[in-house]
Copies of this chain bind each other. A is one copy, B any other.
Amino acid sequence: MATKRGENVPAPAGLSRERVCGEALALVDAEGLEALSMRRLGARLGVEAMSLYRHVRNKADLLDALHAAVLGDLKPEGGDARDWRELLGGLARALRTTLLQHPHVLPLFTTRPVRAPEAVATVTRVQDAMAHAGFRPAEIEQAIYVVGMFTIGHAIFDAQGAHRAAERADDRRRAATFRFGLEALLDGIARAHRRPRRQSPIPRSHSS
């Protein structure tokens, strides 16, 4: 192959949605979200920009795919644990790791709902463990919500600070701050579960 000219010939151009999205993620990781244009992405794949529309509906669709791809990486550590606290904590730590590996994709998280099926599956495992530990559905939703909020907020702060000179408190300290907040939230969740929901004078049986 590449017999015509020794110029560019970057790839055999067997395009596919996967290849398009993968290359887009590589481009964004390397040069930032603003550097992603259909024309530049096409060039990277050795193809005209218009060819991409065969595999991607839109630029918005491409961005959705990027968002999903990052969430798809999610590989929580303590996969075999059944302790809700370890599962939920592990999910948060895995999310932090993933987000910090793709900091340029973070703005998409402010715009797109979390719907990647892989991520949803991971969340389901946490939900099951919490249900098994006696949490009620509303409590479970709240717990996961709260931990997710904190984690994405942290990733945003952290990714910002990484560019700044002044507050380059070393990574160890930022990680410690994350850990501190996460443990505080897990404590809060555990405590709320042990206590009754609100101030109701005579709770019947075990709920309020």
Contact = CB atoms under 8 A, between A and B. Distances in A.
A183 B192 CA distance: 11
A3 to B, nearest CB: 44
Grouping DSSP codes into helix (H, G, I), strand (E, B) and loop, the A interface class, with mixed when no group exceeds half, is: helix
A156 B149 contact: yes
A157 interface: yes
Given A184-B188, A185-B188, A188-B185, A159 B110 contact: yes
Given A187-B188, A188-B180, A154 B149 contact: yes
Interface of A: 106-107, 109-113, 142, 145-146, 148-154, 156-157, 159-161, 164, 177, 180-181, 183-185, 187-189, 191-192
18 contacts: A107-B110, A109-B110, A110-B110, A113-B161, A145-B157, A145-B177, A146-B150, A149-B150, A149-B153, A150-B181, A152-B156, A153-B156, A180-B192, A183-B188, A184-B189, A184-B192, A187-B188, A188-B188
